[in-house]
A and B are shown apart, each in its own frame.
Chain A
C-alpha cells in the first residue's frame, strides 16, 4: 500500500489526479474501520491531515465556509451560533475521541444515509466545494448524494469545504438511537427556519438510501408560516401534526438490525413535530 502525505491542497490535488484510486483519509474514523473490517483494501491512501487549509473555517457575505477537515469538536465550539443545526448534530456524533478527529468532509465523503452532519446541511441548502488539479466546483447539497454511500465526486476531486448561510433563524437536529450516546442513527431529522426568506428547510437521515429533504413538508410548512413569521404565536396542533406526517411520508425506510421501517416512520413524525415545536418557540422568543 502506498501512503501519500501532501502538505498543501495543490499537492493533494496533484496526487489525486495522478492516483485517482487513492483513498483520501481525513479523520480516518470511517476509512480505518473499513480497512479493519476488510471491506476495503485500498492500494493507496491520501492522508489529508497535513493540509492546513482544510482545517480552517471562515465567514464571508453572511455565509460560513467550513474546511472539509474541520473536526466536530471545533464546529461545536466555534460554529454554534452561525451553524446551530450542524453544531447540534455534531454533538450527537460518536464519542469525544471521534468528534476530535471526525470531519464534515469525511461525513460527506462517506455519504452514508446515517451521516449525522448531512440532514442539517440539507436543511440549510449547503453547497459542497470540490477541488481538483484542474477545476473547482460548487455542488448544491441536494445534488450531492447519488445513492447509498455514493456521492457526486469525480475520481480526481477532493472536497475542499462546505458552505452554509449564517443561520437567520432557529435550527434543530434530533436523532433516535437505542443508546444514549455513541450510536448510529435509527433515524434523524433536522429542521431550519429561514424567516428572512420565508422558507423552512428539512433533512432526514437513516430513513432512505440517501439523506434527503422532505420537500412536501417544507412547502406545506412554509405556506402555513407565511402569515405567521411576524408577531408569531403558538402553532395550531393540526399544522404540527400534518408537518410530522409529511416528513414521515417523505421517508422510504427499511427494516434492518437497528430498527423497523414502521418504527422509523413513526419516530420521524415525532421528531418533526418536536423540532418544529422547539424552533418555533425559539422564533417566538426572539420576536418578543
Chain B
C-alpha cells in the first residue's frame, strides 16, 4: 500500500488534490449547456396537462379541441402509452399518464407536442377533462387508520376498518412500508429519567435550479435517443423500456447538463413523455418544465410526524428509546420504502442504546408524492432524536456536548439492527472538536447582520444569542441487500505521442464533482496526467444512482478497479519489454521497483491501446427482518456534527444564523475543495429546512409553488462556516473514503433549532420554524 501511495502523490492532479473542475469555468461564465439549453433543428416542444385536483375520478378526456389548434402535432393520453401504464423506482404504481383516477394535484394527464412551447401549453389548456372530485386523504395519520396520534406504547392497527372505509389511496391499502426495530427488551424496560416529545418536519423541496428537461430524438431503428438531466441513466432506461414497450438497447440515454438534483431527479419526470411524443410524431421533442411546474414535476422530502420517548439513568446514559415515525409518502411509492428503512435503522441516531422499540411507517396519501432528498429518512429522524438528546441533557443536568459524548457510538458499537460498526465512528471526537472551536464575537453592530437582515427590523432590540449542537448518522450507498454496483471502462492510448486516458462511466455528475474525482483517480492509478472523462451515457454499463452519497465510493471504486485492470495489462507489456519485474507508473514513466525508471508509459502503448471494462460492487448487505429490524443492512456510516450560533429577535420571531461550525469525518478527502463544497452546501440546505424551506400543502394542494414564496437561504442567510475535516480511513472502502454529500444536511437542522431554542426559551417542535412559532405565547394574549 505504501508504495502505491507514493506513486499517487507524484502524478499531478491526483487524489487528495483539488484540481479545477472541467465544467467550472463554463458554469461561472454562463456558457455551460444545461439540459434546458438543448436544441435541434425541426424539434417540437412538449407540454403537460396536469390534474388540478388532489383526488378525482376521470370520467372523460376530450383532446379534440387541442388537436385542432394550428401547430399541434400530437395530443396523447394514457391510451397512447405503448407499454406498461405504470412505472416506479421500487414499485411500479405511478401512471405514465393518469387513467381512471388522479391521486395528487399536478399528476400528468395529457401530453402535447407542438411547434412552439406556447402553442403546446395553449393546446394543453384546451383539452377537456371531466373529473368527478373525491375527497382526498391528506392526513397521514388518518391514512393508516390512526386518527389520534396515540401514545408511543400502543400500536396503531394496520389497515383498520378506518383506512378501508376511507377508500385507500391504492387498492392494497395505504401503508407502503411498516418497519419495526426491536432491540433488547424495549417493552418491559424502565428508566429513572424519561423525556418525551412530539416532532414534526415540514415538506422540503430540492428546488434545483435547472428544471426538469430533455430532448428525445426518434431513431431510424425504431428506438429513441434521449438527452436528459437525471440521476441514474440505467434505471430511467429500465422504466422507460417498460412504458415504451421497447427493448432497452433501443433506448439510448445521454446525460445532458444537470442543474442540481438532490434526489429530485431519481424518479422519472418528462422522460417517457418526451419519447412518446417523439416516437409518435417522428420528430425530436424537447420538454422543459417551468419553475412552477417543477414543483409539481418531482417528489419532495417526506414530511414526518414523530413521537419519541427516551429513557436514561440519572447520569444521562441511555437505557431505551421508543419511537413512532410516520412519513407521508404522498400518492405514489417512489423511494418511500428506502426512506422508511433509513429512518427506522438510523432513528435513534449515533448513540449506544441497549433497548430500542421503533415503528416507522411510510404511507400513501393524496398529498404530493415524496421520495428522495439529500439525507432522506435520516434528516427527519435526526430532528427528533437530537431534540430529545437536548431534552435529556436538560433533565439530567448535562451540557449538549456531554450528553452526546456520553452516549456516542464508537467503532465496535452494535446498532439497533444488530449490525456492528466496523470502521471508525468518531462521534465523541466530532463533539469535542466542535466544543473546542472558538465562538464568534458578540451581537453584530451592522444591522444587516441582525435578525431581519436588510429589512431593518431591529437595531438590537429583542435580540438574544443562542448556541446549539447536533450530530447525525447516515448510511452510505444502497442498503438492505440491494445489488449496488458501478461500471467503468478505462482506456489508455497514445494521442499525439502522449499517453492519454479515457474514463467512461454512466455515473451522473450533478454538480458534486464526480467527473473531477474520476479523473483524479485515473491520474493517480495510471501515472498519466492527461485524463478525459467521457460523457455519461448508456453505451457503458450502469453506474448506479447519484444518490446516497455513493458515487465517489462506488463509481470511484469502479474506476480504480478499471485502472488496476489496465495497469496489469501495461505491466505485462512492461515485462515483455524490460524483462520480468515489479513495476509502477508515475508521472508518465514506467518505474521498476528495483531499477527505477525504465521507460515511458508512451512506449508501452506503441502496440496499441489498452482498454478494460469492469463492474465493481461494495460489500453485500442484508435485508432487514420485518418484525425485528435485524440485519446487516448498511455498507458504511458517515458522521457529521454541527454547532450553530444564532441571533433571534424574540419579539418578532426572526432568526439569523450567525455561524455554523462543522466537523465531519470523510475517511479520505479525495478532493478537499469539493469536500468543503459539499459541507457548505449540505449545511445550507439543512439551514433552509430549519428556518424557511417548506412546500405548504393544504387539503392536498400546493400553496407556494414558486420561488416567490418557497424561500431558500440567500447569502444574507447562510453564515460563514468553520469546518474541520477528519480523515479516519474506513478499511472496507476504496482509499478509506466515506460518502460526504448527505451528512452535513442532517445535523445542521437540529443544531440550528437547538440554538434557537436556547436563544428564545421556546420549546420548538416543528421545522421549518416560523415567526409565529417563536412568538406564539405573545399571540395568545
Residues of A within 8 A of B (CB): 33, 36-38, 88, 91-92, 95, 172-186, 257-260, 262-263, 266-267, 270-271, 274, 277-278
Contacts and interface: CB of A to CB of B under 8 A. Distances in A.
Contacts of B704: 257
Nearest to A188: B455
What interface size band does chain B fall in? 35 or more
B211 to A, nearest CB: 12
A174 B714 contact: no
In the A-B complex, the 5 residue pairs with the smallest Cβ-Cβ separation, listed nearest first, are A180-B453, A181-B716, A180-B716, A175-B455, A263-B772
A271 B459 CA distance: 11
Contacts of A172: 456
Interface in B722-778: 770-772, 775, 778
Contacts of A179: 453, 692, 711, 713-714, 716-717
A180 B771 contact: no
B461 A176 contact: no
A174 B455 contact: yes
Given A36-B290, A176-B771, A263-B772, 4 more contacts: A176-B457, A180-B453, A258-B709, A274-B461
A177 B456 CA distance: 10
B457 A271 contact: yes
A84 to B, nearest CB: 12
B105 to A, nearest CB: 15
Contacts of B706: 37
Interface stretch (B2-10, B192-200, B349-357, B650-658): B650-658
B458 interface: yes
Most A-side CB within 10 Å, residue of B291, B455, B652, B714: B455
Contacts of A266: 775, 778-779
A183 B655 CA distance: 14
Contact of B455 (A33, A180, A263, A278): A180
B779 A274 contact: no
Given A92-B454, A274-B459, A178 B770 contact: yes
Contacts of B709: 184, 257-258
B717 A274 contact: no
A10 B656 CA distance: 49
Contacts of B448: 180
23 contacts: A36-B290, A88-B456, A174-B452, A176-B457, A176-B652, A176-B771, A178-B711, A178-B771, A179-B692, A180-B454, A180-B714, A182-B714, A184-B708, A184-B709, A257-B696, A257-B709, A258-B709, A260-B779, A262-B779, A263-B772, A270-B652, A277-B461, A278-B459
Contacts of B651: 270
Nearest to B649: A270
B703 interface: yes
B455 A183 contact: yes
A75 to B, nearest CB: 15
A74 B459 CA distance: 25
Nearest to B780: A262
Contact of A176 (B455, B459, B713, B778): B455
Interface in B672-720: 691-692, 696, 703-704, 706, 708-709, 711, 713-717
A96 to B, nearest CB: 11
A181 B291 CA distance: 21
A38 B293 CA distance: 12
B582 interface: no
B251 to A, nearest CB: 33
A11 B651 CA distance: 52
Contacts of B652: 176, 267, 270-271
A178 B121 CA distance: 33
B293 to A, nearest CB: 11
A180 B770 CA distance: 13
Contact of A92 (B456, B771, B778): B456
Given A174-B457, A178-B692, A257 B703 contact: yes
A172 B457 CA distance: 10
Nearest to A175: B455
A82 B489 CA distance: 69
B779 A263 contact: yes
A277 B526 CA distance: 70
Contacts of A177: 452, 455
B711 A274 contact: no
Nearest to A182: B714
A288 to B, nearest CB: 19
Contacts of A259: 770-772
Contacts of A257: 696, 703-704, 709
B132 interface: no
B460 to A, nearest CB: 10
B116 to A, nearest CB: 13
Most B-side CB within 10 Å, residue of A175, A178, A186, A262: A178
Given A92-B454, A271-B457, A260 B772 contact: yes
Most B-side CB within 10 Å, residue of A92, A180, A185: A180
A204 to B, nearest CB: 15
Interface string B400-433: 0000000000000000000000000000000000
B454 A37 contact: no
Contacts of A277: 461
A95 B453 CA distance: 13
